[in-house]
Amino acid sequence: MRRIIALAAVLTLCVCGDSFGSVLHKYLATPGGVVPDGLIVGRAVCQGATWLLTEKAQLVRVSAANRPATVHDVRGLLLDDRLWGLACLSDGSLWTLPSPRVLARLSPDGRLTERQNVRLPRVGLFASGDRLLFQQLPTVIDAPILATSPARQPFDVRTWPGLRARSTASREDQLAHNLVNCGIPAGASVPCWFVNEAQISVSDGVSARLRRLAGLRASGIDQSAPIWDVALAGNERLWLLATAPTSPSGGRTGGRLIFVNHLKEDHIDLAPTARLILSATDTRCLVLTVRGELMEVSTQ
Protein backbone atom coordinates (compact mmCIF):
# COMPACT_ATOMS: atom_id res chain seq x y z
CA MET A 1 0.00 0.00 0.00
CA ARG A 2 2.82 2.36 0.99
CA ARG A 3 4.55 1.57 -2.30
CA ILE A 4 1.38 2.38 -4.28
CA ILE A 5 1.02 5.71 -2.49
CA ALA A 6 4.69 6.52 -3.19
CA LEU A 7 4.27 5.64 -6.84
CA ALA A 8 1.11 7.73 -7.09
CA ALA A 9 2.97 10.64 -5.50
CA VAL A 10 5.76 10.31 -8.03
CA LEU A 11 3.33 10.14 -10.90
CA THR A 12 1.64 13.30 -9.73
CA LEU A 13 4.98 15.06 -10.01
CA CYS A 14 4.49 15.04 -13.76
CA VAL A 15 6.93 17.55 -15.17
CA CYS A 16 5.85 18.62 -18.62
CA GLY A 17 6.52 22.31 -18.41
CA ASP A 18 9.88 22.69 -20.13
CA SER A 19 9.27 21.12 -23.47
CA PHE A 20 9.40 24.43 -25.36
CA GLY A 21 6.33 23.69 -27.40
CA SER A 22 7.34 20.12 -28.03
CA VAL A 23 4.73 17.41 -28.48
CA LEU A 24 6.73 15.21 -26.14
CA HIS A 25 5.60 14.53 -22.59
CA LYS A 26 7.49 12.97 -19.73
CA TYR A 27 6.67 11.47 -16.38
CA LEU A 28 8.51 9.54 -13.74
CA ALA A 29 7.47 5.93 -14.02
CA THR A 30 9.09 4.63 -10.83
CA PRO A 31 10.83 6.11 -7.81
CA GLY A 32 14.63 6.00 -7.47
CA GLY A 33 16.83 3.07 -6.61
CA VAL A 34 15.72 0.92 -9.53
CA VAL A 35 19.28 0.32 -10.68
CA PRO A 36 22.22 0.01 -8.25
CA ASP A 37 24.98 2.61 -8.26
CA GLY A 38 28.12 1.97 -10.24
CA LEU A 39 29.29 2.94 -13.68
CA ILE A 40 27.26 1.18 -16.37
CA VAL A 41 29.76 -0.48 -18.71
CA GLY A 42 27.32 -2.36 -20.93
CA ARG A 43 23.69 -2.26 -22.05
CA ALA A 44 21.78 -4.73 -24.18
CA VAL A 45 18.12 -4.88 -25.13
CA CYS A 46 16.49 -8.12 -26.13
CA GLN A 47 13.42 -10.27 -25.66
CA GLY A 48 11.39 -7.62 -23.86
CA ALA A 49 14.02 -6.66 -21.32
CA THR A 50 16.97 -4.35 -20.94
CA TRP A 51 20.17 -5.72 -19.41
CA LEU A 52 22.74 -3.48 -17.76
CA LEU A 53 26.22 -4.45 -16.64
CA THR A 54 27.91 -2.31 -14.02
CA GLU A 55 31.55 -1.75 -13.18
CA LYS A 56 30.82 -3.31 -9.81
CA ALA A 57 30.09 -6.58 -11.61
CA GLN A 58 26.32 -6.58 -11.26
CA LEU A 59 23.97 -7.70 -13.99
CA VAL A 60 20.67 -5.84 -13.90
CA ARG A 61 17.51 -6.78 -15.75
CA VAL A 62 14.89 -4.08 -16.27
CA SER A 63 11.63 -5.01 -17.89
CA ALA A 64 9.12 -2.42 -19.01
CA ALA A 65 6.33 -4.84 -18.18
CA ASN A 66 7.69 -6.21 -14.94
CA ARG A 67 9.32 -3.61 -12.71
CA PRO A 68 11.32 -3.32 -10.50
CA ALA A 69 14.66 -4.53 -11.72
CA THR A 70 16.35 -7.77 -10.77
CA VAL A 71 20.03 -7.64 -9.83
CA HIS A 72 22.58 -10.47 -9.85
CA ASP A 73 26.24 -10.33 -8.87
CA VAL A 74 28.48 -11.55 -11.68
CA ARG A 75 30.23 -14.78 -10.66
CA GLY A 76 33.19 -16.58 -12.19
CA LEU A 77 35.42 -13.53 -12.61
CA LEU A 78 39.18 -13.99 -12.61
CA LEU A 79 41.51 -11.74 -10.64
CA ASP A 80 42.45 -9.42 -13.52
CA ASP A 81 39.00 -9.25 -15.13
CA ARG A 82 37.57 -5.79 -15.78
CA LEU A 83 34.20 -6.18 -17.41
CA TRP A 84 33.33 -4.08 -20.42
CA GLY A 85 30.48 -4.25 -22.93
CA LEU A 86 27.29 -6.27 -23.07
CA ALA A 87 25.67 -7.79 -26.14
CA CYS A 88 22.51 -9.80 -26.53
CA LEU A 89 22.18 -11.99 -29.62
CA SER A 90 18.93 -12.96 -31.33
CA ASP A 91 18.92 -16.27 -29.42
CA GLY A 92 18.83 -14.30 -26.15
CA SER A 93 22.38 -15.17 -25.11
CA LEU A 94 24.37 -12.45 -23.33
CA TRP A 95 28.07 -11.83 -24.01
CA THR A 96 30.68 -9.59 -22.44
CA LEU A 97 34.40 -8.88 -22.42
CA PRO A 98 36.04 -9.77 -19.08
CA SER A 99 39.24 -8.42 -20.63
CA PRO A 100 40.04 -7.10 -24.12
CA ARG A 101 41.33 -10.49 -25.27
CA VAL A 102 38.62 -12.66 -23.70
CA LEU A 103 34.99 -13.04 -24.73
CA ALA A 104 32.61 -14.77 -22.31
CA ARG A 105 28.99 -15.71 -22.09
CA LEU A 106 26.98 -14.32 -19.21
CA SER A 107 24.02 -16.32 -17.94
CA PRO A 108 20.86 -14.40 -16.95
CA ASP A 109 21.72 -15.01 -13.29
CA GLY A 110 25.19 -13.51 -13.68
CA ARG A 111 27.42 -16.56 -14.14
CA LEU A 112 30.37 -16.16 -16.55
CA THR A 113 30.79 -19.17 -18.81
CA GLU A 114 32.31 -20.12 -22.16
CA ARG A 115 35.45 -17.99 -21.86
CA GLN A 116 37.29 -17.88 -25.16
CA ASN A 117 40.34 -15.99 -26.33
CA VAL A 118 40.09 -13.64 -29.27
CA ARG A 119 43.02 -12.93 -31.56
CA LEU A 120 42.93 -9.13 -31.43
CA PRO A 121 41.92 -7.06 -28.40
CA ARG A 122 38.32 -5.88 -28.47
CA VAL A 123 37.45 -2.56 -26.88
CA GLY A 124 33.73 -2.33 -27.60
CA LEU A 125 31.00 -4.99 -27.76
CA PHE A 126 27.49 -4.77 -29.19
CA ALA A 127 25.20 -7.04 -31.22
CA SER A 128 23.42 -7.20 -34.53
CA GLY A 129 21.04 -10.13 -34.92
CA ASP A 130 22.98 -13.35 -34.43
CA ARG A 131 26.43 -11.76 -34.67
CA LEU A 132 28.51 -9.86 -32.17
CA LEU A 133 29.43 -6.36 -33.28
CA PHE A 134 32.73 -5.13 -31.92
CA GLN A 135 35.56 -2.64 -32.17
CA GLN A 136 39.00 -4.17 -32.15
CA LEU A 137 42.55 -2.88 -32.11
CA PRO A 138 44.79 -1.98 -33.80
CA THR A 139 42.97 0.84 -35.53
CA VAL A 140 43.74 1.12 -39.23
CA ILE A 141 43.20 4.60 -40.59
CA ASP A 142 40.32 4.86 -43.09
CA ALA A 143 39.34 1.20 -42.62
CA PRO A 144 35.94 0.19 -41.16
CA ILE A 145 36.28 0.51 -37.41
CA LEU A 146 33.65 -2.09 -36.47
CA ALA A 147 33.39 -5.75 -37.37
CA THR A 148 31.15 -8.71 -36.60
CA SER A 149 31.60 -12.38 -35.85
CA PRO A 150 29.47 -15.21 -34.49
CA ALA A 151 29.99 -15.51 -30.74
CA ARG A 152 31.41 -19.03 -30.92
CA GLN A 153 33.39 -18.45 -34.12
CA PRO A 154 35.43 -15.37 -33.19
CA PHE A 155 37.74 -15.78 -36.19
CA ASP A 156 34.90 -15.55 -38.74
CA VAL A 157 35.20 -11.77 -38.87
CA ARG A 158 33.34 -9.49 -41.30
CA THR A 159 33.86 -5.75 -41.54
CA TRP A 160 30.89 -3.58 -40.66
CA PRO A 161 30.11 -0.79 -43.15
CA GLY A 162 29.77 2.75 -41.89
CA LEU A 163 32.26 4.37 -39.58
CA ARG A 164 35.87 4.46 -40.69
CA ALA A 165 38.86 5.13 -38.47
CA ARG A 166 40.00 8.73 -38.53
CA SER A 167 43.57 9.93 -38.64
CA THR A 168 44.82 12.11 -35.81
CA ALA A 169 47.98 13.94 -34.90
CA SER A 170 49.22 11.40 -32.37
CA ARG A 171 48.86 7.74 -31.49
CA GLU A 172 47.04 8.32 -28.20
CA ASP A 173 44.63 10.71 -29.91
CA GLN A 174 44.08 8.01 -32.49
CA LEU A 175 43.02 5.65 -29.69
CA ALA A 176 40.93 8.20 -27.81
CA HIS A 177 39.21 9.90 -30.74
CA ASN A 178 38.32 6.72 -32.58
CA LEU A 179 36.31 5.24 -29.72
CA VAL A 180 32.87 4.22 -30.91
CA ASN A 181 29.65 3.77 -29.04
CA CYS A 182 26.48 2.10 -30.34
CA GLY A 183 22.87 2.48 -29.30
CA ILE A 184 19.79 0.30 -29.21
CA PRO A 185 19.21 -1.45 -32.54
CA ALA A 186 16.01 -2.04 -34.46
CA GLY A 187 16.21 -5.46 -36.06
CA ALA A 188 19.65 -5.82 -37.62
CA SER A 189 20.15 -2.06 -37.91
CA VAL A 190 22.47 -0.57 -35.32
CA PRO A 191 23.16 3.12 -34.68
CA CYS A 192 26.82 3.85 -33.92
CA TRP A 193 28.83 7.05 -33.57
CA PHE A 194 32.22 8.44 -32.69
CA VAL A 195 31.93 9.86 -29.21
CA ASN A 196 33.08 13.33 -30.28
CA GLU A 197 30.99 13.61 -33.46
CA ALA A 198 27.48 14.89 -34.14
CA GLN A 199 26.45 12.28 -36.66
CA ILE A 200 25.19 8.72 -36.44
CA SER A 201 25.95 5.86 -38.75
CA VAL A 202 23.06 3.42 -39.08
CA SER A 203 24.06 0.11 -40.61
CA ASP A 204 22.65 -3.39 -40.95
CA GLY A 205 25.96 -4.92 -41.94
CA VAL A 206 25.22 -4.64 -45.65
CA SER A 207 24.83 -0.92 -46.19
CA ALA A 208 25.15 2.17 -44.04
CA ARG A 209 23.96 5.72 -44.02
CA LEU A 210 24.96 8.76 -42.02
CA ARG A 211 22.41 10.83 -40.15
CA ARG A 212 23.14 14.37 -39.05
CA LEU A 213 20.68 16.01 -36.69
CA ALA A 214 20.17 19.76 -36.69
CA GLY A 215 19.01 19.65 -33.08
CA LEU A 216 22.45 18.59 -31.89
CA ARG A 217 23.88 21.98 -32.77
CA ALA A 218 21.58 23.81 -30.37
CA SER A 219 22.80 25.54 -27.25
CA GLY A 220 22.59 23.55 -24.03
CA ILE A 221 24.33 20.55 -25.60
CA ASP A 222 27.95 19.60 -24.95
CA GLN A 223 29.44 20.08 -28.41
CA SER A 224 32.61 18.14 -27.55
CA ALA A 225 30.58 14.91 -27.29
CA PRO A 226 27.03 15.77 -28.37
CA ILE A 227 25.56 12.27 -28.67
CA TRP A 228 25.03 10.53 -25.34
CA ASP A 229 22.77 7.69 -26.42
CA VAL A 230 20.56 6.59 -29.32
CA ALA A 231 17.72 4.13 -29.79
CA LEU A 232 16.30 3.23 -33.17
CA ALA A 233 12.54 2.86 -33.40
CA GLY A 234 12.07 1.67 -36.95
CA ASN A 235 13.49 2.84 -40.24
CA GLU A 236 12.83 6.55 -39.98
CA ARG A 237 12.36 7.09 -36.28
CA LEU A 238 14.89 7.34 -33.52
CA TRP A 239 15.36 8.70 -30.04
CA LEU A 240 18.57 10.54 -29.29
CA LEU A 241 19.80 11.56 -25.87
CA ALA A 242 21.97 14.66 -26.28
CA THR A 243 24.77 15.34 -23.82
CA ALA A 244 24.16 18.00 -21.20
CA PRO A 245 26.92 20.51 -20.53
CA THR A 246 29.51 18.94 -18.25
CA SER A 247 28.64 19.23 -14.57
CA PRO A 248 31.06 20.89 -12.10
CA SER A 249 32.09 17.40 -10.97
CA GLY A 250 33.06 16.57 -14.54
CA GLY A 251 30.38 13.95 -15.06
CA ARG A 252 28.45 13.76 -18.30
CA THR A 253 24.78 12.86 -18.65
CA GLY A 254 22.00 13.12 -21.20
CA GLY A 255 20.17 16.41 -20.82
CA ARG A 256 17.88 16.57 -23.83
CA LEU A 257 15.87 13.84 -25.51
CA ILE A 258 15.34 14.36 -29.23
CA PHE A 259 12.72 12.39 -31.14
CA VAL A 260 13.32 12.15 -34.87
CA ASN A 261 10.37 11.18 -37.04
CA HIS A 262 11.44 11.17 -40.68
CA LEU A 263 12.84 14.70 -41.10
CA LYS A 264 10.96 16.22 -38.17
CA GLU A 265 12.69 16.67 -34.82
CA ASP A 266 11.09 17.33 -31.43
CA HIS A 267 12.88 17.58 -28.15
CA ILE A 268 12.32 17.74 -24.44
CA ASP A 269 14.77 18.77 -21.75
CA LEU A 270 15.15 16.27 -18.94
CA ALA A 271 15.26 17.11 -15.26
CA PRO A 272 16.81 15.17 -13.69
CA THR A 273 19.16 14.33 -16.53
CA ALA A 274 19.48 10.77 -17.82
CA ARG A 275 22.20 8.14 -17.61
CA LEU A 276 21.01 6.25 -20.66
CA ILE A 277 18.05 5.00 -22.69
CA LEU A 278 16.59 1.73 -21.45
CA SER A 279 14.11 0.99 -24.22
CA ALA A 280 12.20 2.69 -26.98
CA THR A 281 9.25 2.22 -29.31
CA ASP A 282 8.00 4.55 -32.03
CA THR A 283 5.91 6.45 -29.46
CA ARG A 284 7.67 5.96 -26.10
CA CYS A 285 11.17 6.10 -24.69
CA LEU A 286 12.18 4.90 -21.24
CA VAL A 287 15.30 6.45 -19.71
CA LEU A 288 17.19 5.89 -16.47
CA THR A 289 17.73 9.16 -14.64
CA VAL A 290 20.81 10.09 -12.63
CA ARG A 291 18.66 9.68 -9.50
CA GLY A 292 17.91 6.09 -10.42
CA GLU A 293 14.31 6.67 -11.49
CA LEU A 294 12.75 5.41 -14.69
CA MET A 295 11.38 8.30 -16.72
CA GLU A 296 9.11 7.74 -19.67
CA VAL A 297 8.78 10.18 -22.54
CA SER A 298 5.91 9.76 -24.98
CA THR A 299 4.83 11.42 -28.18
CA GLN A 300 1.14 11.38 -27.23
Partner 1 sequence: MENTIVKRLVQLIPALAIAVLILSDAQPASAGCFMKLKDCYATAANQSDWLDLWLMGLDCELDFTDCVRRAIIGR
Which of 142/172 has CB closer to partner 1? 172
Q: Does 229 bind partner 1 (CB under 8 A)?
A: yes
Chain-centroid distance of CA 260 in Å reads: 17
| Binding piece for partner 1, criterion CB under 8 A, among 158-166, 174-182, 203-211, 230-238 | 174-182
Nearest to 193 by CA among 161, 238, 168, 163: 163
Q: Does 169 bind partner 1 (CB under 8 A)?
A: yes
Report the C-alpha gap between 183 and 228 in whole angstroms: 9
Which of 151/241 has CB closer to partner 1? 241
Alpha-carbon separation of residue 232 from 57, 143, 160 (angstroms): 27, 25, 18
Q: How many CB atoms sit inside 10 A of residue 30's CB?
A: 20
| Binding piece for partner 1, criterion CB under 8 A, among 106-114, 118-126, 144-152, 203-211 | 118-126
Q: Is 293 helix (H, G, I), strand (E, B) or coil?
A: coil
Specify whether the CB–CB gap between 67 and 34 falls below 8 A. Answer: yes
Q: Does 100 bind partner 1 (CB under 8 A)?
A: yes
Backbone angles phi, psi at 259, to 5 degrees: -105, 125
Q: Does 121 bind partner 1 (CB under 8 A)?
A: yes
| Binding piece for partner 1, criterion CB under 8 A, among 60-68, 150-158, 205-213, 223-231 | 223-231
Which of 237/275 has CB closer to partner 1? 275
Query: Which residues lie near partner 1 (CB under 8 A)?
Result: 39-41, 43, 55, 82, 84, 100, 121, 123-124, 137, 169-173, 175-176, 179, 181, 195, 224-225, 229, 246, 250, 252, 275-276
